[in-house]
Amino acid sequence: MTQSLLLASAASLAVLAPAVATAQEHDMHAGHPVPAAMPDDTANHKAMDHGASALPAEGSGTLRLPTNDGGHSGLHIDAGDGWMAMVHGYAWGVYTDQSGPRGDDKAYVQSMLMATGEKETGWGRVQLRSMLSLEPLMSNRGYPNLFATGETAGGEPLVDRQHPHDLFMELAARVDVNVGSDGRLFAYGGPVGEPALGPSAFMHRSSATYNPEAPITHHWFDSTHITYGVATLGYATPRIQLEGSVFTGREPDEDRWDIESPTFDSWSLRATWTPTPRWAVQASHGRLKEPEALHSGENEHRTTASVQYSDGKGLSAMAAFSAKNRDPGPTLTAWLAEANWELGAHHTLFGRIENVRNDELFPDHDDSRHDTPFRVTKFQAGYAWRQTMTGPLNLALGGSIAAFDKPRALDAAYGRSPIGATVFARLSIGR
């Protein structure tokens, strides 16, 4: 199954490559074009190709990134009638070996294909967005990732594993309307999208471009990046963005091939400040109705804050905090810091440190440690060698090593010093 998944994922990139190999390559930010410029925007932002001054870059959903953030790069294609199409994707072959009594090893493939259409108008901008993944071909148990929790497989909780993503990761549209000299109103939504909650999803952050593992804090910061039913309204100026969303609180179910029915039973608010091209600061809060299948009857109040940095020369970093308060239930907090540093044309160093208080490590109700929160810290460092191939294709080869700091009470379950080792080969359209 792993071999067939790798071939299928690579084929999805190969099919696109000949059709667009002669297209001009442009920067994209997390797979989406940079926002339309607003009238009289004279702030110090890098210029877009059509000569206008650009606003801060866009991450997943409607989140802003530092203007200097290169994000993903992809192909920019003139689709006619004023429309520009953007394409980015990757197939990421990975092998991981997680040690200790609860460890496991697996070869697997992560994949993503994004296609976006944008049209500038006299009054603003229109965007159409799609994002797909072949990860549903992977077993619902996903891949080994010590101390990660969240979602289920076969009705059983996933513990020490990362679940695969759904086929449909985004099917949404966005409309921006210029207001006054430097403002705009925007509406975003669709059957699959991301609400205004938390930092950009981990696979869209430049600070995690070559990190092959999902954070163990994923369900604290960005578990809502695939949400079935989202509607967002917002107002933006060159430095401030305010937005609010209504969306479906429940996380995706185990059928990863379908589009689930929306309920719009949850809400969130987010404010983002981009004081200079190097920095983006966000704070957000949301109320999620019964987000987790394992905690039926428990709602969640989630508060996040993050700071993202990009020097525009290859260094990107993020620091973030999250608190999820189960209602009824405890408040569980998490911290995360990560960085990606490109050294010249071929070499990249990356790393991540995260600390989380998790009460889902022992789901068995008969276990005396059930529902007991344990605070765990993960340290991860890695290297990637990058090479431009033919046409729009790029290759990255690398690996990472992870170590953990945990309470002694977890030694019997995890061993005294568990280690996670991972190697990968990443084939992508663009960066």
* Contact between 188 and 173 (Cβ < 8 Å): yes
Show me where the domains of the chain are located.
2-429
Q: What is the rounded (10 degree) CA torsion for 53, 55, 60, 63?
A: -170
This prediction has a pTM of: 0.87
Q: Which residues contact 225 (CB under 8 A, 6 or more apart)?
A: 60, 61, 169, 194, 201, 204
pLDDT at position 151 = 92
Query: And the tokens for 310?
Result: 């990009």
Torsions phi, psi for 184 (to 5 deg):
-155, 150
**Cα–Cα distances in Å, from 152 out to 82, 144, 313?**
44, 14, 40
pLDDT at position 117 = 94
Query: And the tokens for 216?
Result: 């163990």
* C-alpha 193, offset from chain centre: 12
pLDDT at position 59 = 87
pLDDT 10s digits, 190-209: 999 999 999 999 989 999 99
**Cα–Cα distances in Å, from 134 out to 38, 138, 256, 393?**
37, 8, 10, 19
pLDDT at position 54 = 55
pLDDT at position 70 = 61
The whole-angstrom separation of Cα 232 and Cα 103 is 40
pLDDT 10s digits, 316-334: 999 999 999 999 989 999 9
Angle at 350 between CA 385 and CA 225, to 5 degrees: 110
Total number of residues shown for the chain: 431
pLDDT at position 32 = 46
pLDDT at position 74 = 77
pLDDT at position 392 = 82
* Contact between 148 and 404 (Cβ < 8 Å): no
For domain 2-429, the CATH architecture is Beta Barrel (2.40)
Number of Cβ within 10 Å of residue 22's Cβ equals 10
Amino acid occupying residue 334: A
pLDDT at position 27 = 41
- DSSP symbol at 360: -
Q: Which positions of the chain have pLDDT values less than 50?
A: 1-53
